[in-house]
Amino acid sequence: MGVPILKLPIVALKILLDYMDGVELARLFLLEVSRRGIPWPGGVSVSISGYSCVSVNQEEPADIFDPRFSGSIYVESRKKMKKKRTCLKIGETDVPVIVVGGTVYSLWDTKMSGLISLLKYFHQDLNIPFNCLSLKKRSKDFSKNIREFLNHINSTGITLKDVEICHGQQLSNKDFKFLLENVSVTGTFNSSTRPTASFKFRGKIQAESISIKSGYWFRAKNLMTCVDCKEISVLGSWFTRDQVKLFLESWKSGNFPNLQKVKLETSMTDAFYVTDDFERRSLYVRGQGMSMNLSRGIVGYGTKYGVVTKQDIANVFEMSVESGDP
């Protein structure tokens, strides 16, 4: 039976830490979470890069000695680590590990086989959800790794909450297209990568929210596939007035029932005035009218209406969707 370390006061926990090494602590952590049989509240974040990291806490990854027992397990190949090893039982597998500077490293034949084994254990044995897949292209095996990882989670029915292509990370056209075609998230798909000018994607991004920073490849046809999205943000795009009007007409007809907010960079001199072509709706906030010079309401479907806000960057169109009687 595991020691109830998740319920220990901080003082008692610090005393306990003085008598334990990293492997013992990691073992107790896994035993305790497994014994309680409840999902770990932080979930698991995964970073596919030169060092694959499985973080038990999305918000603030720390080493395994953090008092809250959020932690990081670094996956390394056996041949690179020559220090003295011990074993940590993960599921039914005895995994060679070493402790370096307070960090627990698990050793596998390859990094991806280790990462997938850990994810399988967190998912099946501990019932821990996956919060975020963070992509950083730091390894020559990135293309192989991302395919192996996505094929694994798709074949096992694992659901990702968020996917993030980190700032400054440039994926090849083939890798980016494979990601778009094979990833499905219940939260946000966030991309800063810059594919070449010839890049085209004709499918649908499977995500509740979309945030694209370099969206010159994201065209009107892509926008019209986002019918299930709550939030859509595309910057670096060049939507024309007619394309934004077509989108708004489709929204007004009820084709984007979940939409809460949309932000699009356009080719218009001032995107705010695309609202001239739509039926207006009066706006009131806390009993006081909003200035028509800064915000405009347009009639949507049912009791919904759009609040279009004038932006500091004039060619950016931004609208939030509200609901209520006139």
pLDDT in tens, 130-160: 777 777 665 677 788 888 888 888 888 888 8
In a domain, residue 60? The reply is yes
Q: How far is CA 107 from the centre of its chain?
A: 27
Least confident of 121-125, 175-179, 215-219: 121-125
Q: Residue 129 in contact with residue 44, Cβ under 8 Å?
A: yes
| Closest residue by Cα to residue 154 from 198, 102, 116, 104 | 116
Whether the pLDDT of residue 50 is over 50: the answer is no
Look at the chain and report how many structural domains it folds into: 1
Q: Which two tokens stand for residue 111?
A: 């990094």
Least confident of 43-57, 237-251, 300-314: 43-57
In a domain, residue 325? The reply is no
Annotate 44-86 with DSSP letters as a single string. EEEEESSS-EEES-SS----TT-TT---EEEEEEGGG--S--E
Strands 261-266 vs 188-191: parallel, antiparallel or unpaired: unpaired
In a domain, residue 286? The reply is no
In a domain, residue 306? The reply is no
Higher per-residue confidence, 162 vs 81:
162
Strands 288-289 vs 284-285: parallel, antiparallel or unpaired: antiparallel
pLDDT at 60: 33
Mean pLDDT, range 163-174, rounded to an integer = 82
pLDDT at 231: 98
What percent of the chain shows pLDDT beyond 70? Answer: 59
pLDDT at 137: 61
pLDDT at 133: 77
Determine the Cα–Cα distance for residues 212 and 190; give it in Å rounded to an integer: 6
pTM: 0.72
State the chain's mean pLDDT as an integer: 74
In a domain, residue 48? The reply is yes
- Residue 45: domain span: 1-137
Whether the pLDDT of residue 38 is over 50: the answer is no
In a domain, residue 197? The reply is no
Higher per-residue confidence, 265 vs 159:
265
Q: Residue 280 in contact with residue 264, Cβ under 8 Å?
A: no
Q: Residue 126 in contact with residue 96, Cβ under 8 Å?
A: no
Mean pLDDT, range 196-224, rounded to an integer = 95
Residue 226 vs residues 111, 172, 177: alpha-carbon distances, Å: 35, 24, 17
Determine the Cα–Cα distance for residues 58 and 80; give it in Å rounded to an integer: 28
In a domain, residue 105? The reply is yes
Which among 8-22, 120-134, 162-176, 311-325 has the top mean pLDDT? 311-325
Q: What are phi and psi of 286, to 5 degrees?
A: 50, 40
In a domain, residue 236? The reply is no
- Banded pLDDT at 49 (limits 50, 70, 90): very low
